[in-house]
Amino acid sequence: EAARKLFMGEVDFLKGVVAMDGLPPDDRAEVCFAGRSNVGKSSLINALTGRKALARASNTPGRTQEINFFTLGEERYLVDLPGYGFANAPVAVVDKWQRLLKQYLSGRATLRRAFVLVDFRHGIKKVDEEILTLLDKSAVPFQVVMTKQDKVKAVDQEKVLEQVRTALSRHPAAYPEIVTTSSEKGDGIATLRAIIAGLT
C-alpha cells in the first residue's frame, strides 16, 4: 500500500540528460531501467506510475542518447535509460551513447539498482549480454524484469526463465530473483513497486 501510494503520488518528469554535467544532484536513492528498444520499457514505467504517457515511447534512434530523470516522491529518482539495440542507429550515435552510459553507471553513487527489461518471448539476447557485462564492470547491482508475460503461454514460460537464470548465473552483479510482468494485464507491477519502495 505504501508502495502504491509512492507511485500514485508525485511522479514528475525532471529532465533529459545528454552529458554527465547535466545530471541532477545525487542527493537521493535512484533506480534505472534499461532494455532493448521495443522491450516494453515505456509501457512498464507508465504502468508503474499509473500514468498513460509519462515515459514516451521514444522509438527513434535520434533520441537514444537521452537519460530521462523522473522524481518519485521526494526521496527517489526513477531513471529511464534509452533503449539499446537499434538495428540502424548511426555508429557515432551509438558510441556517444555508450560513453555516456558507461560514465553514468560507473559514477553514480546513489544508483541503488538497475532493472534490465527482457522480453518474455525472446529471453536474453546478445545485446542484453553487453549491458549485463557493463553492469558487472560498473558494480551496479541489477535485476531482470521480464516483460509481456501475457504474450507467452504459461507452459512455455519456464523454458525462457531457465535460459535467463543460466545467463544470470554468469553475472556477479545480478540478483537471482527475476520479476515477471505484464504492463498490459498488470501482473508483477505491485511487486516491482514494492521492490523500488524498499530501496532507500
Q: Check residue 180 for interaction with ligand GDP (CB under 6 A).
A: no
**Residue among 16 and 73 whose Cβ is closer to ligand GDP:** 16
- Core vs surface per residue 79-98: b (16+ CB within 10 A) or e: bbbbbbbbeebeeeebeebe
Q: Check residue 57 for interaction with ligand GDP (CB under 6 A).
A: yes
Q: Check residue 68 for interaction with ligand GDP (CB under 6 A).
A: no
Q: Check residue 184 for interaction with ligand GDP (CB under 6 A).
A: yes
Q: How many residues bind ligand GDP (CB under 6 A)?
A: 18
Q: Residues near 179 by Cβ (< 8 Å), separated by ≥ 6? A: 115, 143, 144, 145, 146, 188, 191, 192, 195
- Distance of closest approach, residue 87 Cβ to ligand GDP, in angstroms: 13
- Distance of closest approach, residue 9 Cβ to ligand GDP, in angstroms: 23
- Distance of closest approach, residue 128 Cβ to ligand GDP, in angstroms: 13
Only one of the segments 66-74, 95-103, 108-116, 180-188 lies at the binding site for ligand GDP (rule: CB under 6 A); that segment is 180-188
Q: Which of residues 136-155 bind ligand GDP (CB under 6 A)?
A: 147-148, 150-151
Residue 170 φ then ψ, to 5°: -90, 0
- Distance of closest approach, residue 70 Cβ to ligand GDP, in angstroms: 14
Task: List, in sequence order, the alpha helices (H) in the chain.
Answer: 2-8, 41-49, 91-107, 126-137, 154-168, 189-197
Q: Check residue 48 for interaction with ligand GDP (CB under 6 A).
A: no
- Distance of closest approach, residue 127 Cβ to ligand GDP, in angstroms: 13
- The single-letter code of the amino acid at 58 is S
Q: Check residue 49 for interaction with ligand GDP (CB under 6 A).
A: no
Mode of pairing for the β-strands spanning 11-17 and 111-119: unpaired
Q: Check residue 37 for interaction with ligand GDP (CB under 6 A).
A: yes
Residue 19 φ then ψ, to 5°: -150, 155
C-alpha cell at 2: 505504501
Q: Which of 23, 40, 64, 197 binds ligand GDP (CB under 6 A)?
A: 40
CB-CB contact of 23 with 66 (8 Å): no
d(CA 163, CA 120): 11
Binding site for ligand GDP (CB under 6 A): 35, 37-43, 57, 59, 83, 147-148, 150-151, 182-184
